[in-house]
Amino acid sequence: MRRADFCHETPDGKIQCDLCCHFCRILPGRSGICKVRRNIAGSLFSLNFGAVVTASADPVEKKPLHHFMPGSTTWSFGAPGCNFTCANSQNWQNSQATPDGLSIPVTPPETVVADALRAGCRSISCTSTEPTIYAEYALEVLKLARDSGLGTIWVSNGYLSPLCLDTIMPWVDAINVDLKSMDDAFYRRNCGARLEPVLDNLRRISRSGMHLEVTTLLIPGQSDHPSMIERMTGFIADELGRGVPWHIIPFRPGISRKMQEIAASSRESIETAWEIGRKAGLFFIYSGEGHSDTVCPRCGRTAIQRHPRIFGTTVVSVDTEGGCPSCHASLSIKM
Ligand code: SF4
C-alpha cells in the first residue's frame, strides 16, 4: 500500500481520484469503483501498489501486439483490481479481487525489471488486469525498464483520465486498447463505464505517435452486429488511421465471469467482421487462423508469418524501418 498520486480534495470533504474517467469522489473509509484505492483518514491510498499477481514471459503477440517487436518476448505483470466490471471478463479472479482478501507481498519495481532481463525479454508489459488502476506502480516499473533498454507496453481498456494518459505517454512505447463496442449502452451495461472517454483517448493516442493497436472481442448478440462493426472499423480507419492493426478476438464462454449462456463466436461472424474491416479500408486485420500473417497492403508480399496456436512468428520480409523492402510501403511495424 502506498499513498496515491492522481487525486485531490473536494470542498465537501471527499477525495477525488483523478486516475480514470470514473473520477470517484471517495468518503473516508470507502474505496473507489475499482476497490483498490481507498480514502484512509482523509488521504487516498493505492492498496495494490506492488501487489503483483501475475508475472510471466509471453510472446508479445499474446498482448496482442503484432507490429511491435514482432517475434519477441515480453515480461507481463499485473496487480489486482479493475475499473470495469465486464460480465465477459476472463480474468475476473484477479480483476475483481481486492488486496484485502489476498495476502500479496510487495514486489519492488526493480525486481520486475530484473526478472524481465533475466528471462531475455525485449520489453515489459503492464497488463493482465487494468494498468490504469495501479498507475503509480506501473510508472515506477516503466521508468526503470526504459533505463534498462526495455520496450514498454500498456494493455488497457482505454478509460484513463486525461491526466493519467498525459503522465504515462512519455514512458510507453506501445499500447493496445480494447475497443469493446461503439454502443454507449453496451459499455454502461456490460462494463459499468462509458464509450466516449475511450474514443477520446484513442484519438489522442493516435495523434501522439505512440504505437497503437486495437482489440475487439466479438460477443455473439452483444458486440458482433455488422452495423456496429461497420461503425467501429469506420472509426478506426477514418480517425485513427488505416494502418492501425485491428485484432478480432472470438468469444469463448468457458472461462468468462458471466455470460455462460452465450455460445462461442461462430467462424461466420468472425469472417463477416474481417470483411467489414477490409471494406472500411483497414490494412491489418487479425482474427487467428487464416488471418494471422502481415501482408504488405501495396504489393501483397508476406512480411510476417504467424502460427497462432503456438504463438510462432517468423519475420519474412520487413526492412529496418518497419516497411516493405519490396515496394517501400509502410507496414507500421516497430522492429
Ligand atoms: S482508478 Fe478509477 S475507479 Fe479506481 S478510484 Fe480512481 S477513479 Fe475510481
262 and 124 within one domain: yes
Residues 10 and 92 in one domain: no
Residue indicated by cell numbers 510476417: 304
Q: Write out the residue range of the structural domain in which residue 24 sits.
A: 2-46
Q: Are residues 166 and 288 in the same domain?
A: yes
Kindly state whether residues 223 and 287 are assigned to the same domain: yes
CA dihedral 203, 207, 213, 214 (to 10 degrees): 10
Residues 286 and 298 in one domain: no
CATH number at residue 128: 3.20.20.70
- Assess whether 32 and 16 both reside in one domain: yes
Using most ligand atoms within 8 A of CB, pick from 20, 44, 167 the residue to mutate for ligand 1.
Answer: 20
- What is the per-residue pLDDT across 207-228, written as a single tens digit (0 to 9) for each? 999 999 999 999 999 899 999 9
203 and 107, same structural domain? yes
User: Which among 6, 15, 17, 163 is the best mutation to test ligand 1's pocket, defined by most ligand atoms within 8 Å of the CB?
Assistant: 17
Q: Determine what percent of the chain is predicted with pLDDT higher than 90.
A: 82
- pLDDT tens digit string along 93-117? 665 666 565 567 889 999 999 999 9
How, if at all, do strands 151-156 and 73-78 pair? Answer: unpaired
- Tens-digit pLDDT profile for residues 42-83: 999 999 999 898 899 999 999 999 999 999 999 999 998 899
Beta strands, E only, 118-170: 123-126, 151-156
The verdict on 258 and 333 lying in the same domain is no
How many domains does the structure of the chain reveal?
3
Closest ligand 1 atom, CA of 133? 1
Is the same domain home to 203 and 313? Answer: no
Residues 13 and 71 in one domain: no
Q: What angle do CA 271, 276, 281 make, to 5 degrees?
A: 125
Give yes or no: residues 154 and 85 share one domain.
yes
Q: Are residues 114 and 98 in the same domain?
A: yes
